[in-house]
Amino acid sequence: MQNKRGLLLVVSGPSGAGKGTVCKRLVEKRSDVFLSISATTRAPRAGEVDGKHYYFISEEEFTERIRTGGMLEHAVFCGNYYGTPKRAVDDMLAAGKNVVLEIEVQGAMKVRSHYPEGVYIFVLPPSMQELRKRLTERGTETPEVVEERLSTAAWEFTHIQKYNYILLNDDVEKAVCRLEAIIDAEHCRTERNLKFIEEVCQS
Ligand code: 5GP
């Protein structure tokens, strides 16, 4: 069988670009995709469930997990810690799942230094006006936090060239189809299939 090991897909992009919606829809569509659940010290928003959207933990617990090597990466974003629990990612990749990390730029760059073979995807909103509109209409953040997230977005854009792909999120279904195309094409890369090629040649 072609390339049995799963892909590590790192999806970044400004807050409000719709990364979460696109990744959630992808997981609903494809059973070969596992969405990593991050840990954070941020307070849950209305409707967010511990263990489903995030593991909501204290700062003490977070720093302890870093100390004991339990985090694949972590970063501080707008005053809160966010991190990827390492174990689940390793297990799922070994089980052949495509693992999606929906994380911000600093964390993504740390992952890239350990996993250069990962696939790095930056989600783009159709415009900055639309980004502001989405963040404001979401109504989950105060106006100050919206402004902070918009200025962080401007900084995040300066790192876009370190990503392999841009994913325009003008329409969620279209964006998910593009993401699926990226996954399928990445599985076909020659360097990911050397063993399979050898098997075919010897059959
Ligand atoms: P939010 O507070 O809106 O849920 O997330 C804020 C930012 O943190 C988003 O850009 C999100 O992708 C990012 N984020 C979520 N989980 C992680 C993580 O485990 N590590 C890092 N570095 N960023 C994360």
**pLDDT 10s digits, 23-73:** 999 999 999 999 999 999 999 999 999 999 999 999 999 999 999 999 999
Strand partners, 55: 39
The pLDDT value given to residue 1: 64
Lowest mean pLDDT among 83-97, 103-117, 137-151: 137-151
Q: Which atom of ligand 1 is nearest to the CA of 54?
A: 16
Residues annotated within the binding site are: 13-20
Asked if residue 14 has its Cβ within 6 Å of ligand 1, the reply is no
Question: Is the pTM value of this prediction over 0.85?
Answer: yes
Tell the residue nearest (CA) to atom 17 of ligand 1: 103
Count of C-beta atoms within a 10 Å radius of residue 165: 17
What's the gap in Å between 105 CA and the centre of ligand 1?
9
Nearest CA to ligand 1 atom 12: 103
Most confidently modeled range among 19-23, 76-80, 133-137, 142-146? 19-23
pLDDT tens digits, 174-190: 999 999 999 999 999 99
User: Does pLDDT of 4 surpass 80?
Assistant: no
- The predicted model gives 100-122 an average pLDDT of 96
Whether 156 lines ligand 1, by a CB cut-off of 6 Å, is no
Would you state the pLDDT for residue 89? 96
In short, whether 81's Cβ falls inside 6 Å of ligand 1 is: no
pLDDT over threshold 90, residue 15: no
Phi, psi of 98 (to 5 degrees): -85, 120
- The phi, psi pair for 133, rounded to 5°, reads -60, -45
Which residues are annotated as part of the binding site for ATP?
13-20
What is the mean predicted confidence (pLDDT) over 138-142?
A: 83
Question: Does the C-beta of 82 come closer than 6 Å to ligand 1?
Answer: yes
Sorted by sequence, the CB contacts under 8 Å of residue 131 that are 6+ apart come out as: 14, 16, 17, 125, 150, 153
